[in-house]
Chain A
Amino acid sequence: MKIVVCVKQVPEVTNVQVDPKTGTLIREGVKSILNPFCEYALDHAVRIKDRFQDVSITVVSMGPPQARDVLVRSFELGADEGILITDRKFAGADTWTTSLTLAEAIRTVVPDYDLVLVGKQAIDGDTAQVGPEIAEILGLPQITYAVDVTLTSTRRQVRVTQEVEKGYEVIEATLPALVTCSKGEVVRRAPSFKDVINARQKPIRLVSASDLQIPEEQLGLQGSYTQVVKVFPPPAKKSSLLLQNLEAADAAREIFGFLREKRFVE
């Protein structure tokens, strides 16, 4: 049984700062990491593999050559093989072209997949569109916002606990299917020394534009339906009153006064 997990390399955006003079991102010293939601998807794949010995996990990433690092990280966490889709022709891809490229690579390299797991969104783009778009292109049923992913006893269906606005719903779909994940293990898995050493030996297959059956005009910027016309810093934030060095009781009184002034307390 084959599980495909799509993974993305992202900047650790919590630490990304904007240069106040130029309004652009300061990228020096910002680490690249495995997108946390992708790691959650991998968590679920590894858990299924723990339960069923014949499961193999293929991680797929599309990005520049250095995206190799997230495949190696995925190996440390339990993936078996990797596919790196990389080519200058993919640059400027929007969600649609990205999805088309990932879907086509999965169809070409892992045609016998049973389950595709992805993160619900990447923390840099935050669109949450690539998962559903891959599902549509591959013609798969989809279940979004998963917190738990298991197989039914016959292993013909996937059973997913899905976050909904009021709580959770448990949803089933017949395999092959695609699931987007919003939570994984609360306690992160720490790879052992052996995992780290073994990760370096696992195979990574490189896929370039010429390996895929996609016309060149549908790749990268050429194939994208959306186009960025302007990038600018977010609007300046309002100025505020900051109170320091107050005793807790005085602080409470200040806030109370403010609430009365704004009529939140009558």
Chain B
Amino acid sequence: MLNIDHEKCTCCKVCIRNCPFGALSLVGGSLHVNELCTLCGACVNVCRFDALSIERKKASPEELARYKGVFVWAEQDEETSPRKPRKVVLELLGKGRELADKLGEDLVAVVLAGPGEVDTEVYGEHGADKVIICQHELLETFSTDGFTNVMCAVITSKKPAVVLYGATPHGRDFAPRVAARLYLGLTADCTGLEINAERQLVQTRPAFGGNIMASIITPYNRPQTSTVRPNVFPVPEEKKDSSLVKEVFPVTLNRAAIRTKVVEKRYLDEEGDLSIEDARVIVAGGRGCQKAANLELLQDLAEKLGGVMAGSRAIVEQGWIPHTRQVGQSGTTVGPELYIAAGISGAIQHVVGMSSSKTVIAINKDPEAAIFKTADLGVVGDAVEIIPLLSALIEEKN
């Protein structure tokens, strides 16, 4: 709990102003903490009189130093042959390389796949020192139990210092299971990762729907594990590399260990349709598009610009577009060259899902709409009127 040293406290109120949770107040002339306190430590950092402290447990540095290496779960694109990793894996290898260099340790990609051919060179080309390959027929497609069992085996046997997962649906499904089984800390949806002077992984992530950022460490045990959203870190440049070490990790997995069974698949998008995660141009609609039929105008513009249509949570909940097209904190994080937001108010949950877009154009009737704060070009007006006129201009030009 938060300890207040009333002898040292001068009631200067700096901590009260800095508490993100409104948990501190002056009661009868002395500082008081209420039950809203989450022990985030913001007050301890700002107190100039050393009056605030939080009791924390200690870890043995010798024990922690036995864990070495930065591991990246190399999620496979199940539609490629030979199997290739998803783009987020390359993004993680780029960031992972920086962390491994800072630690002076190896960067290792961990592949969980079926028995078919796997492209391993790609890991060396994107900075990995080593690839660990786990293959088994039960790893052909994702299952929570299968992937958790194998990842836990790799971690307990190899003792890495850091494990990174893409915050994809599968990554977010099994990373917490691995963490709970091995008694590990796990930080979700990190947007920043670095190594501090104590060789700890500092993980930065948005909280409260992106209204505040928090930096988080995992001081007492190893590995330190994080999930990272796609499209947050850049893909590193490819380099020729021949020093990649390949290690086959023996997998024992029993069908009975997998307790879920896929009984039906219902896929929405046409074969070959570009996913919004990888799109170069996105035209996204929000509630301001007024009705589902108007989305055809957006679709038309998207096609003319060689892109795809997406939308906010509001219109997904209305059933206007499927969840596979949802941009935002509870949908997909996108990072296109161009993002056109049509009739989207710009709730912070939406903005965190598209803020890594290179260029943003926003059209909204409300001049106060928050979306304008993230836009390179903002236009106050009705998207439903403007978009077809814009499409016509592009059509004319072509």
Closest to A10 in B: B208
Closest to B191 in A: A234
A190 CB-CB contact with B under 8 Å: no
Beta-carbon contacts of B347-386 to A below 8 Å, as 1s and 0s? 1110000010001010100010000111111111110011
B36 CB-CB contact with A under 8 Å: yes
Judge whether B216 and A227 touch: CB under 8 Å: yes
- A121 proximity list for chain B (CB < 8 A): 330
Cα A6 to Cα B223 in complex, Å, equals: 29
Given known contacts A96-B185, A228-B215, A231-B20, A91 and B207 CB-to-CB distance under 8 angstroms = no
Q: Which of A163-183 contact B (CB under 8 A)?
A: 163-174, 177, 182-183
Beta-carbon contacts of A182-197 to B below 8 Å, as 1s and 0s? 1100100000000000
Beta-carbon contacts of A69-89 to B below 8 Å, as 1s and 0s? 000000000000000000010
Judge whether A126 and B189 touch: CB under 8 Å: yes
Cα A17 to Cα B209 in complex, Å, equals: 11
Interface residues on A, range: 35 or more
- A91 proximity list for chain B (CB < 8 A): 1, 35, 37-39
Judge whether A64 and B208 touch: CB under 8 Å: no
- A164 proximity list for chain B (CB < 8 A): 169
Cα A13 to Cα B261 in complex, Å, equals: 36
A213 CB-CB contact with B under 8 Å: no
* Contact pick for A229, options B216, B269, B380, B394, CB 8 Å: B216
- B36 proximity list for chain A (CB < 8 A): 64
20 residue pairs bridging A and B, Cβ less than 8 Å apart: A13-B348, A25-B211, A92-B1, A92-B54, A96-B183, A121-B330, A123-B349, A129-B175, A135-B177, A136-B180, A165-B169, A182-B323, A186-B317, A221-B56, A227-B56, A228-B214, A229-B41, A234-B213, A251-B381, A252-B387
A residues with a Cβ closer than 8 A to B are 11, 13-14, 16-18, 22, 24-25, 27-28, 37, 64-65, 88, 91-92, 94-96, 99, 120-121, 123-133, 135-137, 141-145, 147, 159, 163-174, 177, 182-183, 186, 217, 220-222, 224-234, 237-238, 240-246, 248-249, 251-256, 258-259, 262, 264-265
